[in-house]
């Protein structure tokens, strides 16, 4: 976890690390064996060059709208890798005995792959020299060990994805990209609701947020919105490369 | 459906509706005779095109217009759930609990939007009551909306999936106001959570669940809803986003048209949403 010590001199990053979903809770969650048993997922290139990123193992998301697209691309890579691993588990059918649940997880995998491929193609066509490389997911074996742990990890990723898009919308200057982000975030919210209901029916939009203090939907009826720094503080333990978000827009 | 009542409702949202329809307002007067000659079924289409004309020719709606439009939709949902959650036609307690949760969210959205509109200054936000809404959907549903469980769930799904698309369509118009944009997105994703749960409830409904209904929208399938509600799903079949074709095989995983369409929800314009909800406006 030393990669997280890469200093980013921004106050909101520090706040992100101090928020309830801080490094420590993720370390507790992921277990001490993470670093030793980092699981490199099949299908994820790890031989891409680090074009535009001047430190080996570091990935700079860049700035402006492209930076936000790279941020989304990073998160979608992580989600796609997770569900790809889940569906590929040799004991997938015994962990999930319901055909409906297996279909749900397979559908979500497909959606996340579509999101990942969208950003890959869209960023390439917009700013080919600024796209981040394929990232190397780090999934602790404990996250894939049981129905409960898989759904708990999925819940974190989905609620985090919703909060990320909700917080990133205002950082975009292109109405077109904002429209696309809107098309994706509601699908992530559908995923989040279904995963939550699979854990406990009726918790689709209620109960504690998990990814921050308070409830997933607050007293104003609003879902969670988080800054990139807050989201990346939570997501970084699942990504081998150190993500540098210091050049992203803040308004 | 009384189209003039609808236009009056829109006028509350957009006081300039008639000027938008025609700056001289003369053309609108002619619409009175025009409307009477139309078959009832064609009116929503004509109405939609009128609104397209009204809004299509102008720049994006103002922040206030978007918020008033959202306020109408949230009131429609809130007043629906207020009645629905009070019924005793739920086969299991979980359903009634879920409707109560959603009702409370919609009430919170109404209150939030009213506060937001008041904060913009100008006239007070529009106040709606149950009397503003027609729960028969202009006769289409008869009295089934609050007496027949499958119908009640179907209406709920229709409202939620519409709400998701409405906020999505409005969001880009809010790009100049970060605070309002983020709040709209935060409401939008809550509506999507509701939609997913309603679809799950219909899928798992006993004894006659809607087979293969998913929490997400596959192509433009309306999931057993009445044909009159097809407009809620038209356009959802898109499999290309910003010129990127998402049907294909990526790292060995095949994405078919169904998956590509499910992965992205699509926006609706104000005019399209108005055409969908018009039968529910008294």
pLDDT digits (tens, 9 = 90+) for A103-152: 999 999 999 999 999 999 999 999 999 999 999 999 999 999 999 999 99
Please report the number of interchain residue pairs, chain A to chain B, with beta-carbon separation below 8 angstroms.
201
Residue B51 has pLDDT above 70, yes or no: no
Percent of chain A residues past pLDDT 90, beyond the cut: 77
Question: Which neighbouring-strand residues pair with B240?
Answer: B245
Percent of chain B residues past pLDDT 70, beyond the cut: 79
Q: B212-240 pLDDT, tens per residue?
A: 899 999 999 999 999 999 999 999 999 99
Q: A50-81 pLDDT, tens per residue?
A: 444 556 699 999 999 999 999 999 999 999 99
Q: What's the mean pLDDT when you consider all of chain A? A: 84
Compute how many other C-beta atoms are within 10 angstroms of the C-beta atom of residue B118: 12
Residue A249: inside a domain: no
Residues 138-167 of A with CB under 8 A from B: 162, 165-167
Q: Please tell me which residue of chain A has the smallest CA distance to B178.
A: A170
Classify residue B252 as left (phi > 0), alpha (psi -120 to 50) or beta.
Answer: left
CA distance B163 to chain A (A): 11
> Region B131-149: what's the mean pLDDT?
98
Closest CA to A243 of A8, A14, A60: A60
Residues 95-134 of A with CB under 8 A from B: 100, 103-104, 107, 109-111, 113-118, 121-122, 125
The tokens of B223 are what?
A: 């999931």
CATH code, domain carrying A60: 1.20.1260.10
Q: How confident is the model at residue B192 (pLDDT cuts 50, 70, 90)?
A: very high
Residue A38: inside a domain: yes
Residue A1: inside a domain: no
> Region B41-56: what's the mean pLDDT?
41
Q: What angle do CA B114, B117, B119 make, to 5 degrees?
A: 110
Q: Please tell me which residue of chain B has the smallest CA distance to A112.
A: B263
C-alpha–C-alpha distance, residues B258 and B236, integer Å: 10
CA distance B250 to chain A (A): 8
C-alpha–C-alpha distance, residues A49 and A239, integer Å: 17
Residue B201 has pLDDT above 80, yes or no: yes
> Region B104-119: what's the mean pLDDT?
97
Contacts by residues B180-183 (CB-CB < 8 Å, ≥ 24 positions apart): B180/B63, B180/B66, B180/B67, B180/B116, B181/A169, B181/A170, B182/A166, B182/A167, B182/A169, B182/A170, B182/A225, B183/A222, B183/B112, B183/B116
Q: Do A221 and B183 touch (CB under 8 A)?
A: no
* CATH node for B61-231+267-273: 1.20.1260.10
Contacts of A205 in chain B (CB under 8 A): 101-102, 105, 190, 193-194, 197
Residue with token string 């997913």: B196
Q: How confident is the model at residue A194 (pLDDT cuts 50, 70, 90)?
A: very high
The answer to whether A175 contacts chain B (CB < 8 Å) is yes
Q: Do B244 and A122 touch (CB under 8 A)?
A: yes
Residue B18 has pLDDT above 60, yes or no: no
pLDDT at A56: 67
Per the structure, the count of domains in chain A is: 1
Residue A78: inside a domain: yes
* Total-model pTM: 0.81
Choosing among A101, A158, A190, A214, which should be mutated to test the B contact, i.e. which has the most B CBs within 10 A? A190
Residue A216: inside a domain: yes
Q: Do B111 and A84 touch (CB under 8 A)?
A: no
Residue A49 has pLDDT above 60, yes or no: no
Residue B281 has pLDDT above 50, yes or no: yes
Q: Where are the domains of chain B?
A: 1-58, 61-231+267-273, 236-262
pLDDT at B61: 82
Give the domain extent around A138: 9-244
Residue A2: inside a domain: no
pLDDT at B207: 85
Residue A60: inside a domain: yes
User: At a CB cut-off of 8 Å and minimum separation 6, what does B59 contact?
Assistant: none
């Amino acid at each position: 976890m030393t990669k997280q010590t890469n200093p980013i001199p921004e106050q909101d990053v520090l706040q992100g690390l101090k928020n309830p979903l801080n490094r420590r809770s993720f370390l507790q969650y992921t277990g001490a064996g993470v670093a030793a048993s980092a699981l490199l997922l099949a299908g994820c290139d790890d031989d891409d060059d680090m074009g535009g990123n001047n430190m080996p193992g570091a990935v700079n998301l860049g700035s402006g709208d492209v930076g936000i697209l790279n941020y989304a691309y990073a998160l979608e890579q992580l989600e796609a890798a997770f569900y790809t691993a889940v569906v590929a588990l040799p004991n997938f059918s015994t962990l999930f005995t319901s055909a409906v649940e297996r279909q749900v997880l397979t559908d979500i995998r497909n959606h996340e792959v579509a999101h990942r491929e969208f950003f890959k193609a869209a960023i390439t066509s917009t700013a080919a020299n600024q796209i981040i490389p394929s990232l190397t997911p780090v999934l602790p074996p404990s996250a894939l060990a049981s129905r409960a742990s898989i759904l708990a990890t999925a819940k974190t990723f989905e609620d985090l994805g919703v909060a990320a898009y909700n917080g990133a919308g205002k950082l975009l200057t292109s109405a077109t990209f904002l429209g696309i982000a809107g098309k994706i975030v509601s699908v992530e919210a559908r995923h989040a609701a279904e995963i939550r209901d699979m854990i406990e029916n009726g918790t689709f939009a209620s109960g504690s947020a998990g990814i921050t203090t308070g409830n997933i939907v607050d007293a104003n009826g609003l879902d969670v919105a988080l800054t990139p720094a807050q989201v990346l503080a939570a997501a970084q333990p699942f990504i081998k490369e150190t993500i540098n978000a210091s050049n992203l827009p803040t308004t | 459906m009384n189209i003039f009542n609808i236009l009056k409702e829109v006028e509350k949202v957009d006081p300039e509706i008639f000027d938008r329809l025609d700056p001289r307002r003369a053309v609108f007067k002619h619409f009175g005779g025009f409307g009477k000659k139309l078959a009832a079924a064609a009116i929503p289409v004509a109405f939609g095109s009128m609104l397209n004309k009204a809004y299509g020719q102008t720049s994006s709606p103002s922040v206030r217009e978007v918020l008033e439009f959202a306020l109408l939709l949230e009131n429609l949902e809130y007043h629906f759930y207020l009645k629905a959650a009070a019924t005793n036609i739920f086969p299991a307690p979980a359903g009634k609990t879920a409707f109560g949760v959603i009702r409370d969210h919609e009430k919170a959205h109404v209150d939030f939007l009213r506060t937001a509109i008041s904060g913009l200054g100008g006239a007070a936000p529009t106040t709606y009551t149950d009397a503003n809404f027609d729960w028969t959907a202009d006769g289409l549903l008869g009295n089934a909306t609050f007496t027949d469980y499958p119908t009640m769930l179907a209406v709920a799904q229709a409202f939620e999936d519409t709400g998701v698309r409405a906020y999505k369509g409005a969001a880009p118009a809010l790009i100049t106001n970060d605070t309002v944009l983020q709040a709209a997105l935060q409401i939008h994703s809550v509506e999507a959570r509701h939609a997913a749960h309603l679809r799950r409830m219909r899928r798992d409904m006993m004894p006659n669940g809607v087979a293969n209904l998913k929490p997400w929208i596959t192509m433009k399938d309306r999931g057993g809803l009445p044909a009159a509600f097809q407009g809620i799903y038209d356009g959802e079949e898109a499999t290309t986003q910003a010129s990127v074709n998402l049907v294909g095989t990526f790292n060995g995983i095949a994405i078919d048209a169904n998956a590509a369409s499910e992965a992205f929800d699509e926006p609706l314009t104000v005019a399209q949403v108005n055409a969908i909800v018009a039968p529910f406006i008294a």
